[in-house]
Structure 1
Amino acid sequence: MVGEFNRRDNIMFSRNLSPLRISSAGKFNLFTPPSSPASYPSSPLLTPSSSAVDLASSPSCSSCPSTPFSCNISTPATFVTQLSFHEPLIPGLPDDLALECLLRVPYASQAVARAVCHRWKSFLCSDEYILARRNSGFAQPWLLVLAFHRVSGKIQWQAWDAAHRSWHIMAPMPCKERICPPGFGCVANLEEGALFVCGGMSSDMDCPMDAVLKYDLFRNQWTTMGSMSTPRSFFASGVIDGKIYAAGGNSTASHELSSAEVYDPVGDQWHPIASMGTNMARYDSAILSGKLYVTEGWSWPFLSSPRGQIYDPKADKWEDMTSGMREGWTGLSVVLNNHLYIISEHDSTKLKVFDKEGDIWKHVGGAPMPSHMALPFSVNTVGGKLVVVARSLHMAIGTITVSEEEGKPLSLVEWQPVPAPDAFSDFIPSHSVVLFV
């Protein structure tokens, strides 16, 4: 086979543009991108080392069954009826049983399954199949990471398959302008099974944007959605009950905003909500107990205490954050088991947990963050574990255990490093979200 070899990504492309992955043994393996014909093409990068943790097997992940056949799948009768008018999906099996077999095909193997025949290809790309798989309990977690090249500034979305411990390049995000990646609001809407990238800032003109892009991981495809009511960058964002909230941020000329809005994916429209009452750009934000928490963080010369706001969507009302929470919020946050943690940008990047009763942040015991983890970070959770992505896309998986000492809870964290492929050495993470496919 005649082709070109890309030394940077260790990928060979034949003349028909089918990517070949190089295994650790030096052999070429044909890999078909997990995308429908209408989607952007994608190709895999190097497989990480064997030190990666199999997060998908964690029993605390409710979307991952402990055994392949532990879920009772409820398939719409109309869906099976529609299938019965065609030739069998699997010869010799009723279509309802064939459907349950195909629901168990891992996402990483979907491309191979689609190549079996035209009917499988059409069926596995259908909305009905995607919805049935999403509700089946067999979907696996994928960590989507927005990274940018530290020299060229070029952005690239990477997808980490937690079950198979491999990285894949996602379809390029359609963005004509040169942008500032940290300015986006990136959220995962699990009800939609999609990633939403909202707002942002054009780095050439220092101008906020109102664009909204939706990414379908199953189809590896981007779609332009309804624009935000107000262009904004560096704003708080989060998903509550299937709706996307955006608050504050920067407007033109870097003026801070107090306005907030909510997006309904069903109607593809943004609607205004109660104003924060104070102009504020986001340092960090989190969703905890059905509320949106926003903090502006400390800023030089540290003459005044940082502000913080909490939004209750049920009451459409904002309230001030407690002083202990906002003053101690000095890093990126992540919520695990309804506890709010931060990885401090200071104090040797130690992990802290917020104690609501005492209104203080407490250090989590255990070993420090692995030495190869360099700022900036992006933080999320997969399978009941913390997942920290650092410069060069090196990762650290944190397992937290909680015990009692003298009647008080005692938290400990144990970190396991996950080295990144050499091809990622110049990339810096900006955002990360988790989707199940």
Structure 2
Amino acid sequence: MSGFGEGSKWEGAGPSTSSSELPLNFSMGNGIGEGEICIIPGLPNDLACLCLACLPLWQHSTLKAVCKAWNGVFSGKALFEIRKRWNKCEEIMCLFRDDPSITQGELFDPRSQLWSLLPPMPSEPFTYGLTNFECVSLGNSLLVIGGSLYDARSFPMDRPLPSSAVYRYDPITSRWDRLTGMRTPRGSFACGVWEDAVFVAGGGSRHAQFAAGGSRLSSVERYDLLHDRWSPLQSLQNIRAGCVGFVLADEFWVIGGYGGSRTIAGILPVDEYYSDGEIMDLKTGEWRVLKPMWEEGERRRLGKVAVLSGSKGEPDNVFMLDGSAIYRYDVAANRWIREAQLPSTVLAEASCRLVPLGGELYVIPGGPVLEFNDAKRTPKKRGSIVFQVYDPKDRVWRFVMTRPLLAKTARHNISWGVVCILRL
């Protein structure tokens, strides 16, 4: 989707077409045509635009070639405003591996099961190895926030530092731009979106290459997209890094993570993980304490958490992937209730992700599995990956087999570090 991705193309086992590579190019345009331009003969232009807005995203690039009027409609931002107003938005999964300035982000369309690539994210020439960042969807844009990286100007050079940088990707123009950075650099932090604002809390400087060490924070900030400005908020009661953040019923939840540490035999550092959390009322800015969510010995740390939006006025539900089981959070009891067992054991469990998409939960494994040529041990084709998809409403599982674009070399046989959902 070259307005979604670089150059570019959607690839994969999608619906039957004349080509297996479906370009989607959303370039900058004026959008809906003016005056006498006819979009669909016999229909008013506003109704014609509504008809075109109902078409799936993966077909937009092909349809732009129909005529000049259609090219203008599918190239402009007005079409996406219509899709949003009439509740015709589709959800696209955005997956990032470590350092998106080197390894491109990937987009997966669950409707067509096609993949596309994002252009590389810009970065400073003296920084590298970005990891433990956060990505959120805000409006029609993606924000990549913070993280931990190496700076060639620092000493010692092998010590990771937190980043305050914020980058925005516009999927319509296929361009990155840099926004105002956070007041406090941080990685491995909690992050949530409420209305047109982003909230970040806690975090530290730990890098994915190191299992221990790094700083910890308790500070909290709010980002205003309209004014491109970060504002400090009331801090957490405790330092908390590696935590999970989400917004639930006008509250910003910050749960899990680690604070202090201890050593084994006075040598090996081990984190002390939290089983509790803190909750901010987004209307008043006040924090309250969330008591431990499990008994001692029940589990060592919080698993992968996902919030599934309720439909038709139903409340949102919070789920967790812990081991090979899905748990549902009972807000009233403050406990995780076992919901379902994964039909297939996942590899690289620590690198798995739980993603809410289209009313279902996608269990994303630790990375693509490549098929090798036995003689030279080189990949002979793109590796396949299997998503296990759970429907909480019907309590049934299904499998989605697909081939990511970057699973072409052993260099890319790594897990996705960050996953978020873009609605367009």
What TM bracket, shorter-length normalisation? 0.7 to 0.9
1:349 is the counterpart of 2:318:
no
The answer to which of 197-206 and 414-423 deviates more is 414-423
| 1:368-413 CA distance string (max 9 Å, x none) | 44445744022221121101212225322112247xxxxxxxxx56
Name the CA shift for 1:181/1:415 in 2 (closer, same or farther; >3 Å).
Answer: farther
Name the CA shift for 1:96/1:286 in 2 (closer, same or farther; >3 Å).
Answer: closer
Aligned partner of 1:219 in structure 2 is 173
Q: CA deviation at 1:432?
A: 1.1
Matches within 5 A, 1:85-164: 85-148=35-98, 154-164=102-112
Matches within 5 A, 1:2-41: 31-36=22-27
Cα RMSD (Å) of the superposition?
3.5
> Which ranges in structure 2 are unaligned for 5 or more consecutive residues?
1-6, 152-156, 207-212, 264-269, 311-315, 369-384
**Contact 2:39-2:70 within 8 A present in 1 as well:** yes
| Paired residue type of 1:392 | G
**Contact 1:147-1:157 within 8 A present in 2 as well:** yes
Q: CA deviation at 1:23?
A: 7.8
Distance 1:419 1:20 in 2: 12
TM-score, L = length of structure 1: 0.72
Aligned partner of 2:392 in structure 1 is 400
Q: CA deviation at 1:18?
A: 7.7
Q: CA deviation at 1:342?
A: 1.1
Q: CA deviation at 1:304?
A: 5.4
Name the CA shift for 1:293/1:332 in 2 (closer, same or farther; >3 Å).
Answer: same
**Contact 1:181-1:200 within 8 A present in 2 as well:** yes
Q: CA deviation at 1:30?
A: 6.1
Aligned partner of 2:118 in structure 1 is 170
**Contact 1:364-1:413 within 8 A present in 2 as well:** no
Greater relative CO (CA pairs within 8 A, separation 6+): 1
Name the CA shift for 1:250/1:118 in 2 (closer, same or farther; >3 Å).
Answer: same
Distance 2:117 2:72 in 1: 24
Aligned partner of 1:332 in structure 2 is 304
| Paired residue type of 1:230 | T
Distance 2:83 2:103 in 1: 30
**Contact 2:137-2:143 within 8 A present in 1 as well:** yes
Name the CA shift for 1:233/1:93 in 2 (closer, same or farther; >3 Å).
Answer: same
| Paired residue type of 1:194 | S
Matches within 5 A, 1:22-421: 31-36=22-27, 83-148=33-98, 154-176=102-124, 178-189=127-138, 192-204=139-151, 206-250=160-204, 254-297=214-257, 306=274, 308-324=277-293, 330-336=302-308, 337=310, 338-344=316-322, 348-371=323-346, 374-393=349-368, 394=385, 395-401=387-393, 412=395, 414=397, 416-421=399-404
**Contact 2:25-2:61 within 8 A present in 1 as well:** yes
1:434 is the counterpart of 2:421:
yes
Distance 1:93 1:430 in 2: 47
Distance 1:200 1:155 in 2: 15
Q: CA deviation at 1:94?
A: 2.8
The answer to which of 412-421 and 360-369 deviates more is 412-421
| 1:67-111 CA distance string (max 9 Å, x none) | xxxxxxxxxxxx99x845242223444322322232223211211
Distance 1:423 1:414 in 2: 27
**Contact 1:251-1:257 within 8 A present in 2 as well:** no
Aligned partner of 1:72 in structure 2 is none
> Which ranges in structure 1 are unaligned for 5 or more consecutive residues?
1-16, 39-78, 403-411
Name the CA shift for 1:188/1:18 in 2 (closer, same or farther; >3 Å).
Answer: closer
TM-score, L = length of structure 2: 0.74
**Contact 1:21-1:28 within 8 A present in 2 as well:** no
Name the CA shift for 1:427/1:305 in 2 (closer, same or farther; >3 Å).
Answer: closer
Distance 2:337 2:120 in 1: 41
- Normalized per residue, the structure richer in helix is 1
**3-state SS, counterpart of residue 96 of structure 1:** helix
**Contact 1:236-1:282 within 8 A present in 2 as well:** yes
